[in-house]
Structure 1
Amino acid sequence: MSRTRTTAIGAVTVTLALAATACGGGSATGEGSNDSPKTLTYWASNQGPDIPADKKILTPELKKFEKQTGIKVKLEVVPWSDLLNRILTATTSGQGPDVLNIGNTWSSSLQATGALLPWDEKNFAKIGGKDRFVPAALDSAGAEGEDPAAVPLYSMAYALYYNKKMFREAGISEPPATWDQLVADGKKLSKGGKWALGAEGANLSNNIHQIFVLAKQHGADWFTADGKPDFTSPGAVAAVKQYVDFMAKDKIVAPGNAEYAQNQSLSDFSKGKTAMVLWQAAASTFESQGMKDSDWGVAPVPVASGAPGHGKNTNSMVAGINMAVFKNTDNLDGATKFVKFMTSDAEQKILCKAYGSIPPVKAAQQDQSFDKPELKVLRDTLAKSAAPLPRVPDESQFETAVGTAVKNLFASAADGKDISTAAVKAELAKAEQQMNKQ
């Protein structure tokens, strides 16, 4: 029988920023006594092309864990559109899972609630030690100077994926390396009901990922050194305008993309409706939708000029999924064993291969499965030209506030409205004001 945990948390500033649109789900505890718990509940994030695909990938692995330990894992795959609100509700209601996946960019915000188990040296020792993990992945597992609030599970970076046939038909011999080249190529490709570039205007997280990178290229950060919002700087405004202008001014993104949510741009790309998409670890989705590896190519995300690198030539955020444990689970031993299993060398090879991601576990990266051209681009990007999103307690509010501002601007662009610098700054000012009221 399920029981509801009481969650004691010190600071729940995160929940003030977001209205929970989905109730906290999942049973809170395992079955049986605390001395011999036999069940864990696990919220997995939707990593594959759809939720059934995730269940197909994960279920055999969870059965393997059950066979090894006698602990059954009750799986729920949660869509990205619901995941953050579900987690925030769980931190306050106490009705949540034992183990959960979190976007690595949320680590600092969720850490501030006090609801997650800190991964200190003692806890890391239970899963084989901290040194097993790639340092960049650990850097995105919590606030600077504190023990991580989660353990890296899948590592990713953004790349530019392009349709080889559409490029050939447009007379384009190679993928664009700069944004000027992308726009010029895009105008050749946006013909006959087909479009050059896919976007997901209603996907708040994806909006943030794109404009974070563009702001870096314009020499801007979204927070000051002391962690205060700085959304209306010239660089931040220019970044958002550049991104929305792909639809509003350059006309290389379909107006309908203003309403697109998660993975809809990937579906259009797979069907040959768009020629390019900016995404992280997309190969498994393309394959599931009927594309052959020979149909598409991959290249680094463009920069303003020159080659990708750090600073103004940053071309990706440090992307990835972390695995966290609610600190007051009544099955801490079982939860720790499950994290150890999921981050073992063997499981990392299986899971990351299935999802097309990069193992954050050093030993697993050595497997030849991760030498494919796509993963080489992603791995190189993570090593040389990616930067972590702001590691501040208000990061999740930032994603919601600024992501919504970009969504609103895309909606205006789809309606044919002029997206002026003043209009962009006004939307970002509203987002900053919303943050400052909290």
Structure 2
Amino acid sequence: MPVRTRRAAAALASAAAMALFTAACTGSGAGGASDDPKARTTLTFWHGWSAPGEVKAIEANVRSFEKKFPHIRVNIVKNITDDKLNQALRAGGSNAPDVVSSFTTDNVGRFCTTGALADLKPFLEKSKIDPATTFLPQMAKYTEHDGKRCAVPLLGDAYGLYYNKKAFAEAGITAPPKTLSEFDAVAKKLTKTKGDSYEQLGFMPNFQGYETTFEHYATQFGVQYFDADGKSNLARDPAAKALFTWQKNLAAQLGGFRKLEKFRTGLGDEWGPKHPFHTGQVAMQLDGEWRGKMAKDAGLPFEIGAAPLPVPDDQAGEYGKGYLSGTILGIANTSKKQNAAWELVKYLSTDTDAVVSFANAIHNVPSTVAALNSPKLNSDPLYRTFVKIAQHPKSAHAPSSVNGGAFLLTAQDLGVRHEAGREPDLDAGLRKADAQVDKDNEQAR
């Protein structure tokens, strides 16, 4: 999903919008599951895709649905931001959507607790669909909150490590690293300085680098964000401190925060052909399954490889895991056509051919077990690396929260301050982060 905005600024805007949404939402919709799903009707479906190929792919799936259910027509509205989606879910009305998709996986907790999206349990039970066995378990987990399922996954993203095979060969590196100590050594070996900058950087570890966020690193370390009572757990979790410590130490080995940050600000656009991994300025890149297709489309003059992101040395047995996220799909609680809406949600999210064709078209990871095992699924070796990462039992998304992704932004902000030297006492910073997260969560309830 290369056109998705994954940067922290966008996440912050989404969190702010959701805060307003929480305050205004009543948690009860004007609709209900009383409509006749066999009656002739028209549904409105809002989604966030905007790139021509992606829009074409989702529209093709919807038109296939209409052929299977000729009494249901679907009005498709593309390029919907979460801000607009949240406003519509709150307001309802004749122009509001019946079915919605969102790229902001972190907002599932908010969607479920506010009642913005309908509870899908009755629909799933009626259709005899068990989310735990139908969907990849790790993806089924991030589409519910506190036992309430208000969404289902519609394709997913898995994160791993891309590497420049030419740079590896020139440095005498024969295989991608599996542990962080190996990774640090490889990143340092691949780094070629040029004055006060770099001819080639082994890896950009900075928290403001492309995809190198706290959340994306955290799965490798096994960070436990909350304790059994739902309180923020960063200061008490050795994995969180180990993550921050490792990141800052690697930055120091590669030239230090200021030198890296100066280099980072001059790099090309994340979603354009001048991405620093494409240009050879960065030899290893943490990224999702879409990067392989983007690299191919950019016509790189070197071969690339993909592997899971390395893990801490004391977790070597869990190598192969990675961070997961993905699109979520749900029914607006204000919709008066929820039974018909469910037919569309069920088709898009569980029909094997529909899921596989969509995954192949936009180069994402399928979200159902049947689609993952389909012989029709893209067999490209780079892509398959991310399919395997998604299936690893320890691959995961951050836990859902009543406050959406605000707790992740707090951790991310701590990382930015710590690496820049503005938060020299990490233990104190972790305690402050816990206090902030707990305060934010309490206010959101």
TM range (shorter): 0.7 to 0.9
1:223 aligned to 214, 226, 229, which one?
A: 226
State whether residues 109 and 145 of structure 2, in contact with CA within 8 Å, keep that contact through their aligned partners in structure 1.
yes
* Cα distance between partner residues in 1 of 2:245 and 2:154: 34
Name the structure 1 match of 2:264: 257
Deviation at 1:314, TM superposition (A): 7.9
State whether residues 116 and 332 of structure 2, in contact with CA within 8 Å, keep that contact through their aligned partners in structure 1.
yes
Moved more, 224-233 or 246-255: 246-255
Answering whether residue 276 of structure 2 is matched by residue 274 of structure 1, we say no
Question: 1:379–1:41: structure 2 CA closer, same or farther, 3 Å change rule?
Answer: closer
1:284 aligned to 272, 276, 293, which one?
A: 293
Name the structure 1 match of 2:235: 232
Name the structure 1 match of 2:141: 139
State whether residues 219 and 397 of structure 2, in contact with CA within 8 Å, keep that contact through their aligned partners in structure 1.
no
Question: 1:295–1:164: structure 2 CA closer, same or farther, 3 Å change rule?
Answer: same
Moved more, 395-404 or 191-200: 191-200
Name the structure 1 match of 2:16: 19
1:72 aligned to 37, 56, 74, which one?
A: 74
Mapping 1:36-435, distance limit 5 Å: 36-44=40-48, 51-68=51-68, 69=70, 70-78=72-80, 83=82, 85-94=83-92, 97-98=97-98, 99-123=100-124, 125-126=126-127, 130=131, 131-144=133-146, 146-191=147-192, 192=194, 193-198=199-204, 201-202=207-208, 207-216=213-222, 220-233=223-236, 234-251=238-255, 254-255=260-261, 256-257=263-264, 263=271, 267-282=275-290, 283-291=292-300, 295-305=303-313, 308-310=316-318, 315-343=321-349, 344-368=351-375, 369-381=377-389, 382-409=391-418, 412=420, 418=421, 422=425, 424-435=426-437
State whether residues 135 and 369 of structure 2, in contact with CA within 8 Å, keep that contact through their aligned partners in structure 1.
yes
Q: Deviations over 1:211-257 (max 9, x none)?
A: 322542xxx41211111112223431331232244434433994243
Deviation at 1:202, TM superposition (A): 4.1
State whether residues 43 and 97 of structure 1, in contact with CA within 8 Å, keep that contact through their aligned partners in structure 2.
no
Name the structure 2 match of 1:12: none
Q: Deviations over 1:125-163 (max 9, x none)?
A: 44866443333322222124x242211211332211111
Question: 1:206–1:86: structure 2 CA closer, same or farther, 3 Å change rule?
Answer: farther
* Cα distance between partner residues in 1 of 2:54 and 2:151: 21
Mapping 1:1-20, distance limit 5 Å: 18-20=15-17
State whether residues 200 and 265 of structure 1, in contact with CA within 8 Å, keep that contact through their aligned partners in structure 2.
no
Question: 1:171–1:154: structure 2 CA closer, same or farther, 3 Å change rule?
Answer: same
SS at 1:152's partner residue?
strand
What value does the CA root-mean-square deviation take over the aligned residues? 3.9
SS at 2:79's partner residue?
strand
TM-score between the two structures when normalised by the length of structure 1 = 0.76
Question: 1:238–1:135: structure 2 CA closer, same or farther, 3 Å change rule?
Answer: closer
Moved more, 253-262 or 384-393: 253-262
Deviation at 1:277, TM superposition (A): 1.1
Name the structure 2 match of 1:7: none
Question: 1:327–1:129: structure 2 CA closer, same or farther, 3 Å change rule?
Answer: same
Residue identity in the other structure for 1:159? G
Name the structure 1 match of 2:3: none
SS at 2:174's partner residue?
coil
* Cα distance between partner residues in 2 of 1:334 and 1:287: 40
Deviation at 1:168, TM superposition (A): 1.4
Residue identity in the other structure for 2:333? K
TM-score between the two structures when normalised by the length of structure 2 = 0.75
SS at 2:392's partner residue?
helix
Q: Which runs of 5 or more structure 2 residues have no equivalent in the other structure?
A: 1-11, 22-28
Question: 1:127–1:134: structure 2 CA closer, same or farther, 3 Å change rule?
Answer: same
State whether residues 158 and 280 of structure 1, in contact with CA within 8 Å, keep that contact through their aligned partners in structure 2.
yes
State whether residues 320 and 392 of structure 2, in contact with CA within 8 Å, keep that contact through their aligned partners in structure 1.
no
State whether residues 277 and 285 of structure 2, in contact with CA within 8 Å, keep that contact through their aligned partners in structure 1.
yes
Q: Deviations over 1:190-222 (max 9, x none)?
A: 215221124574489861322322542xxx412
SS at 2:150's partner residue?
coil
* Cα distance between partner residues in 1 of 2:173 and 2:44: 52
Question: 1:158–1:123: structure 2 CA closer, same or farther, 3 Å change rule?
Answer: same
Moved more, 256-265 or 183-192: 256-265
Residue identity in the other structure for 1:361? T
SS at 2:102's partner residue?
strand
Q: Work out the number of aligned pairs and report it.
A: 397
Identity %: 21
